[in-house]
Structures are given as C-alpha cells and as structure tokens.
Structure 1
Amino acid sequence: MGCATTTVKISSILLNTLLALFSIAAIVLIAVNPGSVPDDWDIPAYIIFGLVIVFAVIGCVAALRESICLTVTCAVFLLLLAILQIAVTINILNDRHTQSGIAIVEDAWDHDKIDALQREYECCGKDSSQDYILLNRQIPLSCYEGQNDADANNIYTEGCSAKLQRYYDSETTSIAVSSWIIAAIEIIGFLLAVFLVINFRNKQRRMQF
C-alpha cells in the first residue's frame, strides 16, 4: 500500500506540473494570437487557465505534505474546473463553427478591408486575382509579394478564402486538442487526489493505534 501511495503521489505531482505547463502554454497562445478564441471567451479562458495553474500548484503542495484538507480542496476544484473547461470548450468550438475563414474574407471584401488580409496571409482576392479582373478593378499592391507589382510573378496565386479557411481550421483543431488534453489531465488529477485522500486518511488511522 505504501509503495502504491508513493507512486500515486509522484504521479500526482508530475500530472499537476504538466497541467500547469499546459495552462501556461495555453495562456501564451491566446496572448500571442488574440483571435484564437472568440472575443467573448478570451477573459474566461484566461481565468480558467489561471485557476488551473493555482490549483495545480496546490495539488503538488498537498501531495508533498500529505495534507488531507489541501488534497480534498484540490480534488473538488479540479473536478469543477474540468466541468467548467469542458463547457467553455464546447461553447468556443460551437462559436467557431458558426463562423469560418470564408465568412471573414467575404465580410472584408464587402467592406473594402481585404487589403489587410491579403498582406497578412499572402493571398489575393476571394478566390484568386481574377476576382479583381472580373470586376474591372486594378489588382492592389497587397496582392504582390513585398507589395511590388513591377514583376507579375510576384503576385500571390492563392485566394484568401481557401488560405484563411485552412488556417482557421488548423487553429480550431489546436484549440480543441489542447483544451481536451487539459480537461482530461484535470479529471485524472481529480481521481489521483481522491485516491490520495483515502490513503492519507487510512495512514492517519493506522498511526492512531
């Protein structure tokens, strides 16, 4: 039993450390890519990942000190955070599924804001530079590499809709994978904490006799 408890303690510490590192990475990802989560969800995401870091640290301290109170607290909050994270992740993914890279390009095209997307994503038009030609419009400099139209070979050949949608799908997948991994680690951490509480209590009872 002692060996099993020690193994679970070490596993709990490693798992909580991994959880904290994942959460820090998620916070950095959101900070570096402001559009990676919907505007309404960026603050809740920061709060959730911040709480995960706090309770991951508490979990490590609880396991090292064999504190029943801290371990119970950590277990309860890990379970609540897992439930909250699952709910927030589902909402974020639903919000992203109602949007798309194509819709963003369409909106930018309709409101004459396509230049910024063309420069950022190195694309041209909605589907290609032909979109401008068909409308008898001059192809803007933002469609050219280095914004240099002196050489026709500098023009971006890929349309913004396809390129932005590919980027959008990749980003959504990254958010989903990282969020589900963290939620799974939280649930495993909760189960380990429950096991530790049971063993810590049994150890205290044995010491009383």
Structure 2
Amino acid sequence: MTVLKLSLMAFSFVFWAAGLTMLIIGLWAKVSLGSYLVLSASDCPKAPTILLATGAAVIIWGFLGCFSAATEHRGLLCTYGAFLTAVLVAGLVAGLSGLLYRQDIAQGFQEGLHEALRAYGEDEGKADALDALQRALACCGVESYRDWLASPWAVEQNGSVPLSCCRARRGCQHRLPNAHGLHRDGCFSKVSAFVSSNMFYVATAALGLALLQLIGIVLACLLAARIPAHPLGITSPR
C-alpha cells in the first residue's frame, strides 16, 4: 500500500508538471502561432484554446491525484482513474489527428491565405494578420508576389501590393508586374513548413502525455482495489 501510494503521488506530480507544460505550450501557441492560425480555413485556430483548457484541467486533477492517494479515498481514486482514461483517449485522438491530418492543415492554410488576399482591405483582422505574416516571414502573396495581380485590392490600387511585401520601406517600388525591392517568395511554403513542424511537436507531446496516463490508470486502479469499500469512502483505522 505504501509503495502504491508513493508511486501514485509521484505520478500525480509528474502529471501536474505535464499539465503545466501543456499550459505553457498552449500560451506559446496562442502568442506565436495565433496570427498564423487566424489565416487558416480549417478548424486549427481552436488548437491553442484546447491546449490551454486541457492543461488547466490536468493541473487541477493532478492535485486531486495526490489528495486521493494521500487520503486513500476509494471514490476519489476511481474518479481520478476515470479522468486519466478520458485524458488518454483525448490525447490519442488529438495526437493522431495532428499527425495524420497535417496535409489537411496545410491545405487549410493555402485556402485561408487565398481568402485573406481576396478580402484584403475589407476584413481588417485578416489584413493585419496577412501583413504581419508577410513581414515576419519575408514573403509576399500565396505562391509568389504575382498572386496580388488578381486581387481586388491590387486592382483598385492600380497594381500595387501592400507595403508589408517590401524588403525595406525606402526604395520599394510596389507596383506590379515589374516590381523591385519586394519579397519574391510566397508565404504558403514558409508558413506551412513552420506550422507543420510545430504541429508535429505538439502532436507527439500529446501522444506522449496520453501514453503516460496508462501508468496512472494502473496505479489508481491497484490502489483503489486494495482499499475496502466503506460508507462515504471512510477507511478503517490502521
């Protein structure tokens, strides 16, 4: 019993630390990837919020694991084991989805970039995100700067591209098609590589956290099985 209690308490501490890590990753994704995810046509903009919510829940339940092991409360141990099972399933689904559907995520970015380019000047939120993206990644357009030729905004501006396409504000001739001083590379290849690589790390971390739950589930079940059932979860005095 003592070994099981100490093992479960140690696992709960590791579980709590994993939840804190997930919370930090969620905050990082919200700050670092937020402007990129806004431009996606897929559902991945919700990913940072899901990470934040899951990390907060894991932190709370990590304390519950320590408390249930210390007090040998059979009901709490069963509840803790059920929560670990739910986290296991959710982590497997999230991790496998991130690994298997990275191509769909990339396609969502491609569609989202085209939509942002067509709506430039009308949707201020996406316009700001696209400008920030073009400056940060030193890119212009989706596949190349020539994508702006067909955009309604560029037509209204007599063939101009946004200043965010310029390598430097001074000396940038942002008139198409013979433009000089512009970023020639498109944004899709750069943002897709950046987000896909980071999504891979997030997905593998989710899978690792999910597999970690197996240890906690086994420990919680073994400890709960050794505690006799009593009314209100009260154990007999030692």
Q: Which residue of 1 aligns with 2:117?
A: 109
Q: Please show how residues 59-78 of structure 1 align to structure 2 within 5 Å.
A: 59-78=65-84
- How far residue 33 of structure 1 moved from its aligned partner, in angstroms, is 2.8
Contact 1:41-1:92 at 8 Å conserved across structures: no
Q: Please show how residues 95-174 of structure 1 align to structure 2 within 5 Å.
A: 97-100=103-106, 101-112=109-120, 113=127, 114-131=130-147, 137-145=159-167, 147-150=168-171, 155-174=182-201
CA RMSD of aligned residues (A): 3.7
Q: Secondary structure at the match of 2:62?
A: helix
- What whole-Å deviation, never above 9, does each CA across 1:46-78 have from its counterpart, x for those lacking one? 443332222211112222334333322211221
- How far residue 151 of structure 1 moved from its aligned partner, in angstroms, is 7.3
More helix by percentage? 1
- What whole-Å deviation, never above 9, does each CA across 1:83-111 have from its counterpart, x for those lacking one? 24434555677776534232232222222
- How far residue 173 of structure 1 moved from its aligned partner, in angstroms, is 0.9
Q: Which residue of 2 aligns with 1:23?
A: 19
Q: Which residue of 1 aligns with 2:231?
A: none
Q: What letter matches 1:73 in structure 2?
A: T
Contact 2:140-2:187 at 8 Å conserved across structures: yes
Going from structure 1 to structure 2, the CA distance change for 1:92 and 1:142 (only over 3 Å counts) comes to same
Q: Secondary structure at the match of 1:158?
A: coil
Going from structure 1 to structure 2, the CA distance change for 1:80 and 1:126 (only over 3 Å counts) comes to closer
- How far residue 149 of structure 1 moved from its aligned partner, in angstroms, is 4.0
Going from structure 1 to structure 2, the CA distance change for 1:117 and 1:108 (only over 3 Å counts) comes to farther
Q: Please show how residues 163-202 of structure 1 align to structure 2 within 5 Å.
A: 163-201=190-228
- How far residue 193 of structure 1 moved from its aligned partner, in angstroms, is 1.2
The number of aligned residues is 199
Percent of aligned pairs with the same amino acid: 22
TM-score under structure 2 normalisation?
0.65
- What whole-Å deviation, never above 9, does each CA across 1:99-137 have from its counterpart, x for those lacking one? 423223222222234434212332122233455589993
1:33 counterpart = 2:25: no
Q: What letter matches 1:150 in structure 2?
A: G
Work out the CA distance in 2 between the residues paired with 1:17 and 1:122: 43
- How far residue 138 of structure 1 moved from its aligned partner, in angstroms, is 3.8
- How far residue 165 of structure 1 moved from its aligned partner, in angstroms, is 0.7
Deviates more, 1:96-105 or 1:158-167: 96-105
TM-score under structure 1 normalisation?
0.72
Contact 1:141-1:149 at 8 Å conserved across structures: no
Work out the CA distance in 2 between the residues paired with 1:94 and 1:65: 42
Contact 2:94-2:206 at 8 Å conserved across structures: no
Going from structure 1 to structure 2, the CA distance change for 1:130 and 1:38 (only over 3 Å counts) comes to closer
